[in-house]
Amino acid sequence: MDVKVAPATPAREALLPADTDPSRYRHWRLAVDGRVATLTMDVAEEGGLHPGYQLKLNSYDLGVDWELADAVTRLRFEHPEVGAVVIESGKPQVFCAGANIRMLAQSEHGFKVNFCKFTNETRSAMEDASRRSGQVYLAAISGPASGGGYELAMATEHILLVDDGNSAVSLPEVPLLGVLPGTGGLTRLTDKRRVRRDRADQFCTTAEGVRGERALDWGLVDELAPRSQFPERVRERARALAERSDRPATGPGVALAPLRRVATPRGLEYPNLRVSFERQLGAARLVLHGPVGPQPADPAAILATGADYWPLALARELDDAILWCRLNEPELGTLVLETRGDPAAVVAAEAVLLQHPDDWLVREIRLLWARTLQRLEATARSLVAVITPGSCFAGLLLELVLAADRSFMLQGGIEGDPTPPPTLWISDASAGWLPTHTGASRLAAHFAHRPEPVAAALARRGEPLDAAAAAALGLVTATPDDIDWDDEVRVALEERASFSPDALTGMEASLRVPGAESLETKVLGRLSAWQNWVFQRPNASGPQGALRCYGTGRLADFDRRRT
């Protein structure tokens, strides 16, 4: 991930580093000792992305979290031997003070929400590694862990707290800042840590937090240790967690080389992806290219190919493009999804991913695709799939059609063009190994969890489906012919651009997650609704709001009316 944010203005963040790796981290140190890795948070106070604030007390901004996200991904791919990851502080008197308040106070609203969303996606990637990759995260809290600092700890599977009378955990956003924990703190408190509701209420309205035996008794932490025994207790716990891992005991892994991206005012170019900015239409057109030439036939060959392996390379490029559009192109409200290539080649290339699900590298590539598709669905953009001659919406790329809010498939070919009519190919990729945020398959979510059409679609696996067959199965929204195609697609995109972006964001976020909720859907839904609303209210962001008054000695002047 190497997105740049637009040049700094009073309302925007400064440039992110184009590429990063552990040798260039400013705020984290990564050390690997056999089966255990340690990520030490030691934030450089003067290392903020934007002038006007200092990152004191291990507080963080997007740049700090950018490095963390990079480290989480690198550990999964570059260090197969690591079975446990310790998150600790490099500052003796504090674990982490959470998101930097002055950064939030001076940022425009849209950036605040995108910052919270990216931060939560990073926390979710840690949880995904613990749950599905055999790389379990552990938080070693020495000193106060406040707000986002405690949310970082809650993203791990085991929390150790120094029992010294000073170290504490807290979520002080409500009493101090007039906002909510921005990265899922309330949901993780009750749904993940299962803290009793009245205690959670008391905890979230107690600015100084909870420490020691009470923190353990309430379920806010998992283990206490005196300061003299703390380092050894952390090592013992990390080694015990690592012993449970099914990851290989030795390397090598796959080095994640910097992405090859060329950015221009008109779009982005990658080896396997082209993005065109169509500003008059308020859209970004993403064209994903299928594999070319022979592909690895087994995990050893994938490892030898490394980061250039087509599914891995394309997933990284798509993830990068999604984040670029989020951070740099807020007015491009529609992502038009297209593909180019041979659908049979896509299905053949992904066969090794279907045949070797227990191989550690195959598993990581599949999980990266799942997270990338989830990031796409969590992005506040309309998603429209366009299926034309030359498309390769097959196998894992068919998931883009199922993720889309609308899909258009040309019926037949184009007059004068010898390219055969488009087809869709269903594979086992749509049977559940690329789950949505709810854990269900995208095919199940597409059909609102009705089993009959899901079974009917899966029964046609491996079969090229033309527009008529795809429509009969319910896989696409519309199938215009060559005569009506241009007008129908154009009108649909223009109509989308005419609607209220706020209403579309709320509508899409609601419709994309049918069925039972998960922790992640609840977090993202509340971020899109409650936190989005609270961040804009004068009580938080107004001239006398809590965010602006924090640290000034002035008390916030609240409008006491409830709505």
Instruction: Examine the domain organization and report whether 367 and 438 are in the same domain.
Output: yes
Domain around 80: 22-243
Residue 212's identity, in one-letter code, is: G
What is the per-residue pLDDT for 19? 76
Does residue 131 contact residue 40 with C-beta atoms inside 8 Å?
Answer: no
Q: Are 441 and 451 in contact (CB under 8 A)?
A: no
pLDDT over threshold 70, residue 5: no
Distances 403 to 180, 214, 372, 460, 511 between C-alpha atoms, Å: 29, 44, 12, 19, 11
Q: Which region, left, alpha or beta, applies to residue 517 given φ > 0 means left and ψ of -120 to 50 means alpha?
A: beta
The count of domains in the chain is 2
User: Do 386 and 313 have their domain in common?
Assistant: yes
Assign 523 to helix, strand or coil. Answer: helix
301 and 234 in one domain?
no
The answer on 501 and 385 residing in a single domain is yes
Same domain membership, residue 278 and residue 231:
no
Of 246-250, 352-356, 471-475, 526-530, the poorest mean pLDDT is in 526-530
Q: Which residues are 409's β-sheet partners? A: 387
Which range has the worst mean pLDDT, 192-201, 413-422, 524-533?
A: 524-533
In this predicted structure, the answer to whether residue 386 has a pLDDT above a threshold of 80 is yes
CA angle (266 as vertex; 264, 270 as ends), nearest 5: 60
CB-neighbour burial class of residue 270 (10 A; exposed 0-12, middle 13-18, buried 19+): buried
The span from the CA of 291 to the CA of 317, in Å, is: 14
Range list of H helices, 329-397: 343-355, 360-378
User: What's the confidence (pLDDT) of residue 429?
Assistant: 94
Over range 235-256, report the average pLDDT.
Answer: 95
* Residue 262 covered by a domain: no
DSSP state of 390: T
DSSP one-letter code for 172 = -
Residues 209 and 320 in one domain: no
What is the pTM for the complete model shown?
0.93
Are both 371 and 229 inside the same structural domain? no
How far apart, in whole angstroms, are the C-alpha atoms of residue 301 and residue 365?
A: 14
364 and 486 assigned to the same domain: yes
The pLDDT of residue 8: 32
Residue 551, domain member (yes or no): no
Bridge partners, residue 536, by sequence: none
Phi, psi of 384 (to 5 degrees): -125, 120
392 inside domain: yes
The CATH number that applies at residue 360 is: 3.90.226.10
Q: What is the mean pLDDT of residues 63-75?
A: 96
Q: Indicate if 90 and 208 belong to the same structural domain.
A: yes
Tell me the pLDDT tens digit for each residue of 435-458: 999 999 999 999 999 999 999 999
What confidence category does residue 424 fall into, taking pLDDT thresholds of 50, 70 and 90? Answer: very high
Question: Are residues 299 and 179 part of one domain?
Answer: no
Q: Tell me which of 110-124, 268-282, 518-532 is least confident.
A: 518-532
Residue 421: count other Cβ atoms within 10 Å of its Cβ: 19
Same domain, 100 and 173: yes
How far, in Å, CA of 25 to CA of 474, rounded? Answer: 48
Confidence of residue 210 (pLDDT cuts 50, 70, 90): very high
Examine the pLDDT at 15 and tell me if it is beyond 80. no
**Averaging pLDDT over each range in 361-365, 536-540, 549-553, which range is the top one?**
361-365
Is 332 among the domain residues? yes
- CA–CA separation, 498 and 486 (whole Å): 18
Q: What percent of the chain has pLDDT over 90?
A: 79
d(CA 158, CA 295) in angstroms, rounded, equals 40
Domain final residue pick, 211, 243, 275: 243
Asked if residue 283 and residue 167 are part of one domain, the reply reads: no
In this structure, is residue 478 part of a structural domain?
yes
- What is the overall mean pLDDT for the chain? 92
Helices (H), 422-551: 442-446, 451-458, 467-473, 485-498, 501-511, 519-526, 532-536, 538-541, 546-549
Q: Is residue 518 part of a domain?
A: no
pLDDT for res 17:
58
Q: CB-side exposure of 168: number of CA atoms within 13 Å?
A: 15
Answer yes or no: is 541 within a domain. no
Q: Which segment of 13-27, 102-116, 293-307, 328-342 scores lowest on mean pLDDT?
A: 13-27
Tell whether 552 is covered by a domain: no
Q: Could you tell me the two tokens for 420?
A: 């055969």
